[in-house]
Amino acid sequence: MPDYREKLWPTPWIYVASLLLIPASILVLAPVSLPAGIATGVILYGAVVASLSMTAPVVEVSEGRLRAGRASIPLADTGTAVGATDDAARVERGTGLDARAFLVIRGWVQPVVRVPVTDTADPTPYWLISTRHPKELAAAINGSRRPAPTEPGV
């Protein structure tokens, strides 16, 4: 069971805004065929919804690893994770961003967690990950790094 798991689903307004594909398709194709415009709009909307849903990255902390999207790193190679919200998150994603950082950020998820990479062989200074729960993700990363308790007599 993972210590933390979150899928970065798009917000509902993205799906609502995508609905504008239907009237746009009707407007473009109405002079040719109104049913074709409606069908094309519905198919395009379905494709957008499917692609947004299927490409939403998963952020997970489990079994001593941090997974963000398709990438994975051992927690032993990370430093202390720090969450940022509001203005601090804006700075992390903007003026304070290092071009070498590994990013799993989404425009519809404002808070971020910064995870330093301590592996000297890795040129990436840190990971910056979007999350709706920055405190919980940082706590899971920092808490999962502690050594496993040893049992007496083992």
C-alpha 152/C-alpha 13 separation (Å) is 55
Domain match, 37 and 101 both = no
Per-residue pLDDT of the chain (154 residues; tens, 9 = 90+): 678 999 999 999 999 999 999 999 999 999 999 999 999 999 999 999 999 999 999 999 999 999 999 999 999 999 999 999 999 999 999 999 999 999 999 989 999 999 999 999 999 999 999 999 999 999 999 987 655 555 555 5
Q: Structurally, how many domains does the chain consist of?
A: 2
pLDDT of residue 89: 94
Query: pTM for this structure?
Result: 0.81
pLDDT of residue 147: 55
Q: Is residue 30 part of a domain?
A: yes
C-alpha 125/C-alpha 120 separation (Å) is 9
Closest CA to 59 of 70, 69, 71, 73: 69
Joined tokens for residue 77: 């190679």
Task: Assess contact for 104 and 128: CB atoms under 8 A.
Answer: yes
Tell how far CA 35 is from the center of its chain. 38
Domain match, 78 and 110 both = yes
Q: 97: domain range? A: 59-144
